[in-house]
Structure formats: C-alpha cells, structure tokens
C-alpha cells in the first residue's frame, strides 16, 4: 500500500502497481487459507482488490507470477463490504471498467484443480481461491448491508451481493455508525440475552465488548460485531475531489475500537503530527501516551457498560459534530490564507489538527479518571468527577 501511494495517481493505477510488485517479488501468505483485501479509492473510483500467494513451492526464480490477484470496482452510489473473507465472485475480464486481474487468474486455479473450464461452470474467484462459509464474516457483512439498505430484506444465511445501493445517501457520520455497530436491536444483540436480565431489567453489566471468559461465566455466546472490541485503532478514509488539494483526503482516525474511540480529522495537507501519535508503544503501558489515554475509557466502560457508554458518547459525540461542522468551512478558511501560499496553509492545518488531537486526548484521559473512580476504585458517590468536555479552540 505504501509503495502504491508513493507512485500511483489513481486507484486503477495503484491496483496495477500493487499487482505488478506482488507478481514480481512474490506475495507471502499461508497458502491457500489466507490472503489480503484492499479497499482502494481516489475520489472518482473505488475498488476492492484481493491478493493470494502463488502456492507453497514458488520462488523468485520461477517464470510464473508470484501472486494471483483480482480487483472489482464498486459501482458509483453503491456500498461494498469485506469482513475478512473474499467477496469477489464471477468475473468478466472483458469488462475492464469493472474488473482487473493477474494473468494467471484462471490458469493457477486450473493447475491446482480448483476449477476447470471443462465443467462448463462459470469461474468464480472466491469459490476457486477462498471458499468460506464463515458465519462470523457473513453476519458482519449482512449487518452493514442491512443498515444501509434495509428495504432489501437480506439475511446472513443467504449469499450476499457484492455491493448494494443504499436506501438513502450516506454521510460520513452514517459510515462511522456502521463501523461502531454492535448488533443492537437485532436477534444477535448479546446485551438482550435473558442472562443479562435481572429483576426484569437489563443489568448494567450487559456489555457487547467484554472478554470471552466473562461471557462463558454468564452463559452467552455473542456473535462477532462490525466493531472489533480488540482494535488498536479505527479509521475512515474520505475523499472529496471538489476540495482544494490540501483537503481532498481526510483520515478520520482514533485509537481503540470504533465503538469507543473519537474520530478526529487528519487532512491530506497536514505535514506534522505529535511525535507520540506516530507509534502506539503498547508495551510501555505509559498512560500518558495517546494510545492508552484514548483506549482505556472503552475498556473501563465494560465494567458498567449500560451506565458508562452513554457517558463516553456524551464526551465524544459533540466533538465529532464540531469537526463535521468545521469541515464544511475549512475550504473558505484556507482560501483566505492566500492564493497558493502552501506554507501558510500547511502551518494552519498543522496547528488546527494538533489542537484537536490534543483536546480529545486530554478529555479521554480525564474520562479514564472518572471511570476508575466510578467503577473500579469505589469512591463514588463520595468523590465526584465531572463529565469531561473536549475543549476546542475557537474556529476559524
């Protein structure tokens, strides 16, 4: 991905670069059970690319490609999803607007005995290279599609389409909500399990983000949610080609799982980040590092999830709403800094980003203190910690 970003000017070109590098130097994966899926977009086109290794005996001396890969374009106005399994089905390489693939896409599957044209059956990429009936994957993919297009009435038990057209246009906040989804209100909602009902009410311990020994203790078996409770970070990449070059790309980033992080905007024109945001440094256990200060509140909230999660959202949501409101005005602010004055624009964006990263980091650090006092040390109500606020400087 890094090499493609350094070289490519479009999503299509990035796919060709990644594919060529993998074919030339080999793609290492525990063949045939593992591979990689990449979502690649440039603001005009969005693709999903899947790569697998060439087989256990390949070496760089072989004349054959060192990888097999395929890419399918997600139609404009549609939503695609991949939950740790292959999603590309039947392919038509004559339709270069929608499909790209390595030269061995058919021959390798045939050589390995995974597909034969003599059967008369159409070649399906996922059936050949990654057949998988993973329930945990299917439920996540179904949930995402059902959230954006409930009118389709899809079921996780049925084959899912490659992409779907949403019932309504999606905002950035809508996509964040999908990434944070915990299967609330569905038949798979673990917090609605009768084991979590005490005296007719849902227990404060009813949590969708606990560790498995806890679920074993209370006798429930949760399904895997779109939100990954053990994520070290979560991100969402937004491209808007109608913006100045410094704002075309925006990485909405947050340490920790999607459900409990705060997404902060880092625009493509940003050139400097705080030094301790460049590495998680998990092993140090230094609570002053942003990884820990932003991740701990989510883990601490699991002790009294039903009470704690609304408090976390009360800290996070107003900050994200402010970032969204500021986004619509940033282009005008940059225009006022002067025509083509890249230095002033970079300085402004760097300061803007630094202020927001540090404000969120501080508030989440204070939230850690509150949750420790309320749910672990046992000092509440004798010691009261106020709900933190992400204090942002005046904008613009």
Per residue in 19-70, pLDDT (tens digit) is 999 999 998 776 555 789 999 999 999 999 999 988 778 888 888 999 999 9
Residue 118 falls within a domain, yes or no? yes
CB 11 within 8 A of CB 46: yes
Long-range contacts of 281-285 (CB under 8 A, 24+ apart): 282/232
Count of Cβ atoms closer than 10 Å to residue 133 Cβ: 7
Residue 312 falls within a domain, yes or no? no
Residue 97 falls within a domain, yes or no? yes
Mean pLDDT (the chain, rounded)? 91
Residue 283 falls within a domain, yes or no? no
Residue 259 falls within a domain, yes or no? no
Identify the helix (H) or strand (E) that includes residue 319.
Answer: helix 305-335
What is the distance between the alpha carbons of residues 300 and 364, in angstroms, rounded to a whole number? 12
Write out the residue range of the structural domain in which residue 12 sits: 2-133
Residue 30: per-residue pLDDT: 61
> What total of structural domains would you count in the chain?
1
pLDDT in tens, 315-341: 999 999 999 999 999 999 988 886 656
Residue 46 falls within a domain, yes or no? yes
Residue 257 falls within a domain, yes or no? no
């Amino acid at each position: 991905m890094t090499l493609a970003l350094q070289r490519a000017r479009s999503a299509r070109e990035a796919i060709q670069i990644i594919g060529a590098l993998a074919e030339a130097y080999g793609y290492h994966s525990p063949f045939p059970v593992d591979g990689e899926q990449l979502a690649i977009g440039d603001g005009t086109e969005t693709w999903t690319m899947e790569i697998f290794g060439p087989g256990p005996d390949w070496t760089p001396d072989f004349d054959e490609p060192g990888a097999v890969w395929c890419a399918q374009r997600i139609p404009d106005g549609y939503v695609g999803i991949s939950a740790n399994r292959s999603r590309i089905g039947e392919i038509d390489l004559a339709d270069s607007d929608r499909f790209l693939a390595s030269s061995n896409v058919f021959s390798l599957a045939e050589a390995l005995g995974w597909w034969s044209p003599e059967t008369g059956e159409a070649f399906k990429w996922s059936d050949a290279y990654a057949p998988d009936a993973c329930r945990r994957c299917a439920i996540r993919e179904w949930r995402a599609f059902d959230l954006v297009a409930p009118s389709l009435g899809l079921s996780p038990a049925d084959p899912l389409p490659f992409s779907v057209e949403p019932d309504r246009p999606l905002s950035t906040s809508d996509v964040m909500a999908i990434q944070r989804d915990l299967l609330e209100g569905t038949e798979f909602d673990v917090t609605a399990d009768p084991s979590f009902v005490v005296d007719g009410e849902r227990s404060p311990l009813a949590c969708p983000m606990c560790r498995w020994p806890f679920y074993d203790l209370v006798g429930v078996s949760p399904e895997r949610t779109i939100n990954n409770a053990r994520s070290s970070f979560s991100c969402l990449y937004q491209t808007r080609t109608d913006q100045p070059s410094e704002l075309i790309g925006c990485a909405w980033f947050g340490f920790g799982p999607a459900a409990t992080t705060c997404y902060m905007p880092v625009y493509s024109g940003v050139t400097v980040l705080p030094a301790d945001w460049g590495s998680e440094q998990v092993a140090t256990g230094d609570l002053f590092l942003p990884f820990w200060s932003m991740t701990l509140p989510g883990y601490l909230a699991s002790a009294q999830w039903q009470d704690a999660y609304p408090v976390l959202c009360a800290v996070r949501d107003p900050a994200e709403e402010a970032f969204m409101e500021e986004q619509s005005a940033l282009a005008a602010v940059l225009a006022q800094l002067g025509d083509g004055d890249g230095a002033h624009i970079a300085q402004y964006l760097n300061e803007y980003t630094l202020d927001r990263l540090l404000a969120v980091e501080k508030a989440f650090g204070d939230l850690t203190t509150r949750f420790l006092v309320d749910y672990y040390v046992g000092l509440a109500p004798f010691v009261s910690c106020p709900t933190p606020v992400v204090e942002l400087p005046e904008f613009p």
